[in-house]
Amino acid sequence: MTPANFDGLMPVVIFMGLAVALFVGGHFASVLLAPKKPSHLKSTPYECGEQPVGSAWSMFNVRFYVVGLIFIIFDVESVLMFPVAAIFRELNDMGHGGYALIVFLSFISILIEGIAYCWKKGDLDWVKSFQVSTKNNK
């Protein structure tokens, strides 16, 4: 027995399979057609003609990580809001519009508090976050 909302999944899987097939096929064609004359100089990483110094895998600034963290929080919030938004109109037609609005707005207002906090504390700034935070942490 298959679940009721199962029948739309086959095209999804087929499209993913087509992507992989296209990748493998294109690769195969390229292997057949392309010349193959490797040399050491050709396969050095491109650095505008200079000899590359060291590896590119170096430590990166923490700000990327902060962006990722804030993103996940907002992502989860929007995931939780999606089902409620999807039935909002239905609830309104049933006469529970005011109740649904209160539930929805209180959820969003807490979200707004979060973004306002991050804004105020300078976590949303790309450049100045260091200076701002030293001032606040004294």
Rule CB under 8 A: say whether 33 interacts with other proteins.
yes
CB contact set of 121 (below 8 Å; sequence gap of 6+): 132, 133, 136
Smallest distance from other proteins to CB 25, Å? 10
Map the footprint of other proteins across residues 66-125, applying CB under 8 A.
Answer: 66-93, 97-101, 103-108, 110-115, 117-119, 121, 123-125
Rule CB under 8 A: say whether 49 interacts with other proteins.
no
Rule CB under 8 A: say whether 134 interacts with other proteins.
yes
Rule CB under 8 A: say whether 38 interacts with other proteins.
yes
How many residues does the structure list for the chain?
Answer: 138
Q: With contacts defined by CB under 8 A, how many residues of the chain interact with other proteins?
A: 109
DSSP per residue, 98-117: HHHHHHHHHHHHHHHHHHHH
Smallest distance from other proteins to CB 49, Å? 12
Rule CB under 8 A: say whether 4 interacts with other proteins.
yes
The terminus-to-terminus CA distance of the chain in angstroms comes to 64
